[in-house]
Amino acid sequence: MDEIIRVYGASWCPDCRRAKRFLGDQRVSFEWHDIEVDPDGVRIVQQRNNGNNIIPTIVFPDGSHLSEPSNEELAEKMGLERTATMHVYDLIVVGGGPAGLTTSIYAARENLQTLVIDSKGLGGQAGVTERLDNYPGFPDGIGGAELADRIVLQAQRYGVEMLQAVSVTSVTSDREEVDVETATGDHYHARAALVATGSSYRRTGAPGEDDLIGAGIHFCATCDGPFYKGASELVVLGGGNSGLEEGLFLTQFVDRVTIVQRGDRLTANKLLQDKVAMTPEMDVLLNREVVEFKPKDDGSGKLGAIVLKDRESGELEEIHPAGAFVFIGLDPNTGFVKGSVDLDDRELILTDMGLQSSMPGVFAAGDVRSGSTKQLASAVGEGAAAAIGIRMYLEAQDAKPMHMMEAG
């Protein structure tokens, strides 16, 4: 029997993209069959759906299938734990990326009953990163999925309870207890909580992008720029401060860096624009929109070409850089705490020196925190620092006389 999940669909189908992203987020391997180019795929889809073309149709290793499943149906089929065993914990960690998991390991080792809740798969962005070359302790680098699995195993070893595919929708506190509500309608209570929900890099949304992330499309020049040492050209999408800064950084690895900007002018500050203008290795293309990312046709699954549309003339042009770096903005995952904790002007969580937010008992660490560096090693470090801040907070709470606890 087949050991792999097969997803049958088409590139234009949003539900297919959602299902593929869900499986990818859970770090589940699957085989993609585009029925528009695979006649055998059409036959299988029709066979499974009484002659109808229903996509996505997902065939599982046990021979069963789901047609157009919701994420909840997929989670159930894959046996993901979505309800916790208890309702009250010492600590609830929202976000099972490197920061949150590190805090959970520290807390559980100190015998705090700890629950981690993640809206996608455990491991966060690190878990879906192809290769990590700058994380200390791994001289040959390490695959992101392998590192994530190791951290999860370590958390399991200390008895951390973990839920996946469960979004947290609100975190509130009445000074004595934190209430965490999930999209499944459950409420969990804890003496303290950590928000470590990271930030999402904005994507262009162009066809082909999802499949080529980590395989030619990147969001971090410090992390992935060195992979391109000696290549002839890289493209940076985005003409704001980050795009230009990272583009200048990338010139040390390649002969040419081309900034592609959707609008008719760069939006970075004047200083950066002047620097770019004075750097002979840099080019700027204005008024260009990405229409498609194409894979190489050698079957390697790597980025082969970017199709750009000139927004003035409507003309299409194909460029063939070794890689593309996307810097079109960052969305902190803080929507569910907006209005309840203080955020900075970029909507990142403001904390004090002990990483406590403006809400008593609620801490923040990693990429979601204002002032964070968006690096794995820092996220892990902040996770450890938050655990120590939480311990001190809980000790202070325990030391409070009863009348003060009641007064809040």
Ligand X SMILES: Cc1cc2nc3c(=O)[nH]c(=O)nc-3n(C[C@H](O)[C@H](O)[C@H](O)COP(=O)(O)OP(=O)(O)OC[C@H]3O[C@@H](n4cnc5c(N)ncnc54)[C@H](O)[C@@H]3O)c2cc1C
Residues forming contacts to ligand X in the complex (CB under 6 A) are 94-100, 117-120, 124-126, 129, 132, 134, 167-168, 196-198, 201, 214, 218-220, 223, 333, 336, 366-367, 374-377, 379
Phi, psi angle pair for 346, to nearest 5°: -100, 10
Give min distance, CB of 231 to ligand X, in A: 17
What is the residue whose two structure tokens read 């695959």? 143
Q: Rounded distance, CA 43 to CA 28, Å?
A: 25
Query: Which of 67, 375 has the CB closer to ligand X?
Result: 375
Nearer to ligand X, 112 or 348 (CB): 348
Task: Report the residue number, 190 or 266, with the smaller CB distance to ligand X.
Answer: 190
The least CB distance from residue 260 to ligand X, in Å, is: 19
Task: Tabulate helix, strand, coil % of the chain (nearest 5).
Answer: 30, 25, 40
Pairing of strands 161-163, 88-94: unpaired
Minimum CB distance to ligand X, residue 348 (Å): 11
Is 138 in a helix, a strand, or coil? coil
Q: Which residues contact 15 (CB under 8 A, 6 or more apart)?
A: 9, 55, 56, 68
Q: How far is CA 91 from the centre of its chain?
A: 23
* CA angle, 336 then 190 then 369, to 5°: 45
Spell out the residues 6+ positions from residue 38 whose beta carbon is closer than 8 angstroms to its own: none
Shortest distance, position 378 Cβ to ligand X, whole Å: 7
Are the C-beta atoms of 103 and 387 separated by less than 8 Å?
yes
Closest CB 92 distance from ligand X, rounded Å: 10
CB of 43 to ligand X, least distance (A): 36
Structure tokens at 292: 């498609």
Residue closer to ligand X (CB basis): 30 or 138: 138
275: left (phi over 0), alpha (psi -120 to 50) or beta: alpha
Longest dimension (CA), the chain: 73
SS3 132: strand
Q: What dihedral angle (degrees, nearest 10) is formed by the CA atoms of 199, 26, 296, 230?
A: 50
- For residue 287, the minimal CB distance to ligand X (Å) is 27
Q: CB-wise, 57 or 357, nearer to ligand X?
A: 357
Least Å from the CB of residue 325 to ligand X: 10
Q: Cβ of residue 372: shortest distance to ligand X, in angstroms?
A: 7
Comparing CB distances to ligand X, the nearer of 193 and 248 is: 193
Return the structure tokens found at 58. Answer: 């997902």
- Specify the residue, 214 or 329, whose C-beta has the smaller distance to ligand X: 214
Compare residues 276 and 349 and give the one whose CB is closer to ligand X: 349
56 vs 198, beta carbon nearer ligand X? 198
Alpha-carbon distance values, 242 to 191, 266, 369 (Å):
39, 11, 18
Instruction: Output the CA–CA distances (angstroms, integers) from residue 169 to 118, 175, 356, in the order listed.
Output: 11, 19, 20
Which residue in the block uniquely carries the two structure tokens 């950590």?
194
